[in-house]
Structure 1
Amino acid sequence: MRILLVLLASTLIGACAGRKDERTKCVETALEFPALSEGVAVFDDMSGQVVEARSGYWISRNGHSPMMMASLTKPLVAQEVRRRVSSEELSLNQSIGDVLAIPDLSRETKVVTIQQLLQHRGGFDRHVVDPLFATASSSCHSAVAEVLSRKPDFLPGTATIYSNSGYCVLGEILMQSVSSTPLDATLEAALKSQLGAAGGWVGSLQDLHAALKKGFPLVELEPSPTLPDGSHYAYGWRSWPSSPVHARWTHFGRLPGMVSIALTDGKDALLVAHFLGNPLDVEATSEELGQRLWLCMVASRQ
């Protein structure tokens, strides 16, 4: 009897494996990546169904496991801003001084616009010290208080400098502004957390995939000035020129012990993934990983 059960289990496993489409098999292979471990991905397969892949059968985590998503919070925050812009509850040209009642707001900072915050052009630098991580007790709330009480590091609108603090300010705007539609409960919890709008979203990859899909199709914002590689930021997503190796839109997140990534064409195909690990060069690792995973999404269309 035991031999029969083993044979039956082997047959079922083989049948399930045979039902995986080419894209799913490719993603499983791409999840095996140096310097990272326990990779899990949720994505649209070739038939349009939302499926998941893991880098090994032994991994206990899956697409329904709660995980910290770090900076993948930002596209969700930008998505909510975009919704309020569409409903005319907010305007891209509104300045911080127009929408936040903060008595110590510096004259130079109060003119920074919502669009500049969305696109990391508010003039806030983090190359010396990131206010979000200045001390163990630092938070999005303290980062907002710090950057809004002084002049920006650069003239707003003149350069793209990735800023956690800028998104913390956007989170404060969302919390203080009146909306005809209540905030999603998970997003609201993220905004109230220590990492706030910069990285406080906690949930499963399945939930993240569904939440991001609500913002499709993605839309552009003015691309100038671009980054040296030709990319720029729109509503929380990094927008890339047409390329055979890059997804049209990307974003990655990083906290100690983990890396998250999101890749999409902005219309139909979306892949979100989560890994454990501490790569030395997280930007280079995320870019190479993103290219490997997106190749699976593109090659399987052929």
Structure 2
Amino acid sequence: MTTTIRRCTATALALLTGLTLVTAPAPVSAHAGGATQSALDALVRTHGFPGALASVTDRSGRQRDLTAGVGDLSTGAKPPRDGYVRIGSNTKTFTAVVVLQLAGEGTVGLDEPIETYLPGLVPNGAQITVRQLLQHTSGLANYTDHMPDESFDTGRHRYREPRELLDVAFAHAPDFAPGTGWRYSNTGYVVLGLLIQRVTGRPLAEQITERVIDRVGLRRTYFPGVGDESIRTPHPRGYLGPDRTDVTELDPSWGWAAGQMIATPRDLNTFLRALLDGKLLGAAELAEMQRTVDASAGLWPGARYGLGLASSPLSCGGVYWGHGGDLPGFETRGGATTDGRAVSIALTTTPDSAERHQHVLDAVDTAFCR
């Protein structure tokens, strides 16, 4: 899937401590919960995912947390309700929010060349705008398509600096001239992370934490520190490949501004509802974020991509806004609607086919529409 950080190493799938107590959630309607539970059960029993977690929020803000399958294959333990998972490319939406906040403050211009802020860094940077980096229309090669060939066991524990990731991308020709096409590129978001650091003079993780996580009270969302390969508890284990290799512990630095973060399904719902409700961006900046281009050829049927935010059609009418993301061992999909509904589903392995990925999208649609 091009919506994910697609490779940790050449052998990874090419698509893409402390105890926290969970309070009992207020129920959503039994009908909605039943349909979603059945969809999660099908993902496990019929489509081969080890475990699944979901959070469903209705228009009034009532939440229901659901699970299916097994959260730890070695013990048989169930997945924890609202457990922490690696959220992969959902990180891009957090990064985009910070960039758009800076635009609203007059610090960054969306249609300014990236060369203005990071002179000499990006090849042809005088022709590539901040907006194009946010919207995947820059043409920059996707570094995760070209990661060095090394064993997965070695590669998953290696720390990578952002500039190292860009060196991989910039060794390859652009996919197209800036603004003339659309192709998902993690490279653009690494550049945007460096942009944030340059104009604020502060670390990316700090800016995301202060400007987004703390502002809307996301108590179970964080940007892992340098060298942190763990996931806070409670969490399910993450698995990769047909032999179900446990890849829960890995260094996520190769995702950085494009995919390093960890959260829970409920926090993802809270984040997206707050975003669409105008609690993180001014009206003008949110409107820019939701100005979309057709991305169905690179994502899934009906998908459109804005500035770090995608819209997807619902079978019951309308669209939901979100992103989704994969990192080895985990997939997350879902979003929120403008009337306050939200759904986040997390799986404990990365889908190995377009068909299995579609089953996840179908489960999201079920949670919204039935």
Match of 1:9 in 2: none
For 1:10-37, what per-residue CA distance to the aligned partner results, in whole angstroms no more than 9, with x for missing partners?
xxxxxx9998522122211111201213
Letter in 1 for 2:40: L
Match of 1:291 in 2: 362
Return the alpha-carbon distance in structure 1 between the equivalents of residues 51 and 122 of structure 2: 44
Match of 2:241 in 1: none
Match of 1:124 in 2: 140
Given the alignment of the two structures, is residue 36 of structure 1 paired with residue 31 of structure 2, yes or no? no
Between 1 and 2, higher relative CO (CA 8 Å, sep ≥ 6) is seen in 2
Given the alignment of the two structures, is residue 59 of structure 1 paired with residue 78 of structure 2, yes or no? yes
Report how many aligned residue pairs link the two structures: 279
Match of 2:325 in 1: 253
Return the alpha-carbon distance in structure 2 between the equivalents of residues 133 and 294 of structure 1: 37
For 1:235-278, what per-residue CA distance to the aligned partner results, in whole angstroms no more than 9, with x for missing partners?
22222457547843342212222211122224411111211124
**Rg larger in structure:** 1
Structure 1 unmatched ranges of 5 or more: 1-15
Go from structure 1 to structure 2 and tell me whether the alpha carbon gap of 1:110 and 1:221 turns closer, same or farther (over 3 Å shift): farther
Question: How much does 1:44 deviate?
Answer: 0.5
SS of corresponding position for 1:72: helix
Higher helix share: 1
Return the alpha-carbon distance in structure 2 between the equivalents of residues 133 and 21 of structure 1: 49
Return the alpha-carbon distance in structure 1 between the equivalents of residues 34 and 357 of structure 2: 20
Question: How much does 1:154 deviate?
Answer: 1.3
Return the alpha-carbon distance in structure 2 between the equivalents of residues 247 and 141 of structure 1: 37
Match of 1:91 in 2: 109
Within-5 A mapping of 1:36-185 = 36-45=49-58, 47-55=60-68, 59-63=78-82, 65-101=83-119, 103-106=120-123, 108-126=124-142, 130-131=145-146, 136=155, 137=158, 138=160, 140-147=162-169, 152-178=174-200, 182-184=207-209
Contact 1:38 1:54 (C-alpha < 8 Å) held by counterparts: yes
Contact 1:74 1:198 (C-alpha < 8 Å) held by counterparts: yes
Contact 1:190 1:196 (C-alpha < 8 Å) held by counterparts: no
Structure 2 unmatched ranges of 5 or more: 1-24, 71-76, 214-220, 227-251, 278-285
Return the alpha-carbon distance in structure 2 between the equivalents of residues 29 and 242 of structure 1: 18
Question: How much does 1:199 deviate?
Answer: 0.7
Question: How much does 1:139 deviate?
Answer: 5.1
Go from structure 1 to structure 2 and tell me whether the alpha carbon gap of 1:191 and 1:223 turns closer, same or farther (over 3 Å shift): farther
Contact 1:96 1:109 (C-alpha < 8 Å) held by counterparts: yes
Given the alignment of the two structures, is residue 189 of structure 1 paired with residue 204 of structure 2, yes or no? no
SS of corresponding position for 2:51: strand
Contact 1:246 1:294 (C-alpha < 8 Å) held by counterparts: no
Go from structure 1 to structure 2 and tell me whether the alpha carbon gap of 1:247 and 1:39 turns closer, same or farther (over 3 Å shift): farther
Letter in 2 for 1:118: L
Contact 1:35 1:278 (C-alpha < 8 Å) held by counterparts: no
- Aligned-CA RMSD value: 3.4
SS of corresponding position for 1:39: strand
TM-score (norm 1): 0.77
